Amino acid sequence: MNTPQDRQALYDNYFSTHYGIHRPDEDSARRNYQLNYGPFLPADKNAPILDAGCGSGLLLRFLVGAGYTQADGVDISGEQIRHCKESGLERVQKIDDLPAHLAQKAGFYQVIFLTDVLEHIPKELTLPILSGAHQALAPGGCLVVRVPNLAAFSGPYRRYMDFTHEVGFAEMSLSQVFRNAGFQKMQMHRDKSAFRSRWKGMALESARRVLENVRKAAMYIECTGDQIPTIYSKNLIGVAYK
């Protein structure tokens, strides 16, 4: 049985045994954050922002570099938090209970990010975390979630590429948990890739669109009569507003 102690042991060594080995290039991550997250960032550079599950700090460093002065990060992994601090990030802390942390910040944050986090959360904690995020957002604030997209061709691989993954999501299930957490207004978006080379980017994006259309056709044939997804990119970005 996978006990909480077992899971914590995995996260205690998460950077050295998994993420630090396979983490993305920071420059690429920064370009992708700007492309996908830029539209949801507040105009006020002093707006409180939370990166929940901040990992090694890729998103936090992007936010700090963009001039945001109150971008905080929390994570369950002490190893990841140590890496954040060693890289110069100061507004980070290790926490063991995210819902309890969010409960202490009622109405405080303008934006909360859960980037590649929900797939790691046991089902019984998903709604407490999302409900806590709803409570911790200021009126008009937004929750931005990125998860592997099970509707994509690579969905099964991305679901199981990390032993700490607990669940998978598609548009319908992500919308379902948003609604159950109290969110009424939400949007679903493709996770787009930003490339240094314009021509390489155009070629790869065109090829991806072809694959996505093939996947959509297969879903239509296999799931006749059922609602099928509209987004087939490798990741799914869900944005929910308070």
* Structure confidence at residue 2 as a pLDDT band (50, 70, 90): low
DSSP state of 57: S
Element (H, E) at 77: none
Give the strands of the sheet with 185-190, arranged side by side.
Answer: 92-94, 71-75, 49-52, 109-115, 137-148, 235-241, 185-190
Reduced to 3 states, what is the DSSP secondary structure of residue 237? Answer: strand
The number of distinct structural domains making up the chain is 1
Lowest pLDDT segment from 52-66, 106-120, 142-156, 207-221: 207-221
Domain that residue 75 falls in:
4-241
With the CA atoms of 110, 116, 121 and 125 taken in that order, what torsion angle do they form, in degrees rounded to the nearest 10? 20
Q: What is the pTM of this model?
A: 0.92
pLDDT at 1: 42
The 10 Å CB-count burial string (b at 16+, else e) for 64-101 is beeebebbbbbbbbbbbbebbeeeebebbeeeeebbeb
Nearest alpha-carbon partner for 146 in 63, 239, 14, 229: 239
Q: What is the largest CA-CA distance in the chain?
A: 53
CATH code at position 236: 3.40.50.150
Residue type for 91, please?
Answer: R
* Residue % of the chain over a pLDDT of 90: 75
Reduced to 3 states, what is the DSSP secondary structure of residue 220? Answer: helix
pLDDT at 96: 92
DSSP state of 121: S
Residue type for 29, please?
Answer: A
